[in-house]
Structure 1
Amino acid sequence: MILRKRNKPLPLQKYEALQARLPANSEHHPLIERQIEHATRGYQGELHTDKYLTIPSTRFTILKDVCLVSDKQTFQIDTIVITPNALYIIEVKSLRSNLTFDTNLDQFITGSGNRQSGYNHPITQAKAQKLKLQNWLFEHNQPNIPIHIFIAISDPSTIINVIGDHEKIANTVTHSENIPWKIIEYEKQYTTNQKYQHQKIGHVLLRHCKDFDLDILTEQGILPGQLIPGIRCHHCNHLGMKRVKQSWVCPSCQYNDRMAAIKGIDEYLLLVKPWVTNKEILNYLNIDSRYTVSRLLKKHPRLQYSKRRRRWERIQV
């Protein structure tokens, strides 16, 4: 059973929206483009790995894109699989170059020949996630279930090299398509009668899960007033869709989108802050009719008006 599905990461959504609303000559574009490329590659790698988890999902409990808080520290786990015997942490790596795990020096190297780079060791990172999750389970009075870690290499063309103890790496690191079989192999080793209520543990995790988020405007040193206003076309990213009858049309690519203005409000809530006034949306979407803005905000399915604060606030789902 898949309790928590994977959605496009909020930081990636924010970077894509921010990229479209900055002037073409903005100094921020190179960094934002790198962030989008990195986040997109990671997201696609996670989706690729998810395809192979349909096999264990019929028997076990799965949560994707898990973000929890333990001892006031936020930590993320790409995927958690819970069985009657154990819990499995799956961390996805979407690196396309050759990978080398050196167990003698405890190093992780990407590339080959003269084009090699050292990175944070993914096994060390996964072990840290394991410790944080163990602490979290203890804090929430959950059973001391065994936890195993896997590093899933999403690109099947990536070559995995090992210097030193091959078995040590092979037990943890593999291509994504092998993950279900690794889990099944581990499950065969459990012969005790003690079984864990994997669905119950999964629901406890789900209740405390949140979406990982970043304040990218503050991170990039950008003020809301620096964003270019207008209703964004989600087909070509052009800013300035025009109202035509009951819809919005892009003058650049002629794309028609009845929900374009609602998406624009959602984008403001995502990018700037979780509440908004009529005037702020009027300026952000560059709409010249207060009546139109008022009607859009009243129509929005995830907003409610606070009379005390005199603003529209996002409903917590």
Structure 2
Amino acid sequence: MELTPPTFLLQAEALERRIADNHRKMQDVKAKIRILRSGYNGEKTIKYYLDPIPEHKYHIFYGLRLPIGNTFFQIDTLLLSNKLILILDAKNHSGTLRFEINQLIHEYGDNRDVYENPVAQVNRHKILLRYLFEKFKIPPIPIENLVTVCKPSTEIIIHPGYQEAAQKVIRAYDLLNKVDELEEKYTEKKLNQKHLNQVINLLKTQHTPQKIDILNFFQITEDELITGVQCPRCLYIPMDYRRSKWICPECLLFSKEASINGINDYFLLINSSFSNPEIRKFLLLPSSRSTTSFLPKLNLPQTGTKRGRIYHQPTFPIFTNHVFPPKSKQ
């Protein structure tokens, strides 16, 4: 599984674009984006240090969210071979991290925050993963786990005598050395190719991406959203739709595909499907005919026909960087 931005982050960023700068919830949205972005940047750091590992050695999964009972547990990064599994939890904090048996204390400037001990967290994930494997009759395989501090400038302080943290808390730049140590420790193949493929398929099929009801999360109503298509250059909203093109009245950029970002925002913020009138209202299109003219070009999954046609969210999101800047201002 490739590393992709978490959907919650994409939703929060879409919400930031779609509410007024002075909105009562703007600072809460920005704060959530900072937290989610920091976590994602930590995972990207992990990926940077893991990328040199030859592909034949490990199958690497990023951002796994797996069910157990009536809940889910999330693993930042999982390395799988026929000899062992390695679970990695990324910590991308600045300042000082104090690892104590019952808590993690983060100190940065004048701030002091207390969190769950991440060593205990990765231990719990190891147990839950083993439960999942037992449920699907996967043969026993060693599972190791590490807490990876991603920023080289972060100070790490481990409580005296806390030997488990001393062994499991590492810096991201030391990941390859730690993987080599584990390879020397575990030399016996525990999974044949059939069982290895079974584990790969299990992790992929059980992975359940999280999607938050973002408006409900921040207690924002749909009526508070800024509608229309946003200019991909100057970020002005709304662009005008004329003769099958989107034109920005602020910077005069024109684009044939600027509406795709608006459709992405609709999927992120409102619903995973829409009718012609619903998306026309959100994008501020002038008519049903103008909406119908460009929707088929997106090849979105559809159900129903004619006036009852519903367009559904595809493999998500739809990306495009294709814009057409004007040759001259008119």
Q: Cα offset for 1:8?
A: 1.3
Paired residue secondary structure (2:228): coil
1:18 corresponds to which of 15, 18, 38: 15
Give the Cα–Cα distance (whole angstroms) in 2 for the partners of residues 34 and 236 of structure 1: 24
Give the Cα–Cα distance (whole angstroms) in 1 for the partners of residues 37 and 108 of structure 2: 24
Q: Cα offset for 1:200?
A: 4.0
1:64-79 equivalences under 5 Å are: 64-79=62-77
Structure 1 unpaired stretches of 5+: none
- Alpha carbons of structure 1 residues 270 and 115: separation in structure 2 relative to 1, 3 Å: closer
The one-letter amino acid paired with 1:25 is N
- Alpha carbons of structure 1 residues 287 and 206: separation in structure 2 relative to 1, 3 Å: same
1:129-208 equivalences under 5 Å are: 129-165=125-161, 167-192=163-188, 194-197=190-193, 198-208=196-206
Would you say the 8 A contact 2:139–2:190 is kept in 1? no
Paired residue secondary structure (1:213): coil
Larger RCO (CA under 8 A, 6+ residues apart): 1
Would you say the 8 A contact 2:275–2:308 is kept in 1? yes
- Alpha carbons of structure 1 residues 234 and 8: separation in structure 2 relative to 1, 3 Å: farther
Give the Cα–Cα distance (whole angstroms) in 2 for the partners of residues 34 and 166 of structure 1: 33
Which residue pairs with 2:120 in the alignment? 124
Which residue pairs with 2:321 in the alignment? none
Q: Cα offset for 1:186?
A: 1.2
Would you say the 8 A contact 2:241–2:286 is kept in 1? no
Give the Cα–Cα distance (whole angstroms) in 2 for the partners of residues 112 and 228 of structure 1: 36
Would you say the 8 A contact 1:262–1:296 is kept in 2? no
The one-letter amino acid paired with 2:224 is Q
| % identical aligned pairs | 26
Would you say the 8 A contact 1:101–1:161 is kept in 2? yes
* Deviation sequence 1:247-279 (CA, Å, 0-9, x none): 424333444443211221222122111111111
- Alpha carbons of structure 1 residues 179 and 34: separation in structure 2 relative to 1, 3 Å: same
Paired residue secondary structure (2:146): strand
Q: Cα offset for 1:35?
A: 0.6
Paired residue secondary structure (2:53): helix
Q: TM-score, normalised by structure 2?
A: 0.86
Give the Cα–Cα distance (whole angstroms) in 2 for the partners of residues 40 and 68 of structure 1: 21
- Alpha carbons of structure 1 residues 293 and 123: separation in structure 2 relative to 1, 3 Å: same
Which residue pairs with 2:318 in the alignment? none
Give the Cα–Cα distance (whole angstroms) in 2 for the partners of residues 99 and 231 of structure 1: 43
Which residue pairs with 1:108 in the alignment? 104
Paired residue secondary structure (1:237): coil
Give the Cα–Cα distance (whole angstroms) in 2 for the partners of residues 156 and 39 of structure 1: 20
Tell me which moved more, 93-102 or 132-141: 132-141
- Alpha carbons of structure 1 residues 254 and 34: separation in structure 2 relative to 1, 3 Å: farther
1:1-317 equivalences under 5 Å are: 4-58=1-55, 59-103=57-101, 106-111=102-107, 115-165=111-161, 167-192=163-188, 194-197=190-193, 198-243=196-241, 246-307=244-305, 310-314=308-312
Paired residue secondary structure (2:209): coil
Give the Cα–Cα distance (whole angstroms) in 1 for the partners of residues 257 and 109 of structure 2: 51
Give the Cα–Cα distance (whole angstroms) in 1 for the partners of residues 51 and 65 of structure 2: 22
Q: TM-score, normalised by structure 1?
A: 0.90
* Deviation sequence 1:105-136 (CA, Å, 0-9, x none): x3321117975332111111212222222222
Q: Cα offset for 1:46?
A: 0.9
Q: Cα offset for 1:100?
A: 1.1
Q: Cα offset for 1:315?
A: 5.5
Give the Cα–Cα distance (whole angstroms) in 1 for the partners of residues 104 and 192 of structure 2: 35
- Alpha carbons of structure 1 residues 138 and 303: separation in structure 2 relative to 1, 3 Å: same
* Deviation sequence 1:40-98 (CA, Å, 0-9, x none): 11111111110111133521111111112121212211111012211111111111111
Structure 2 unpaired stretches of 5+: 316-330
Q: CA RMSD in A?
A: 2.3
Give the Cα–Cα distance (whole angstroms) in 2 for the partners of residues 309 and 203 of structure 1: 40
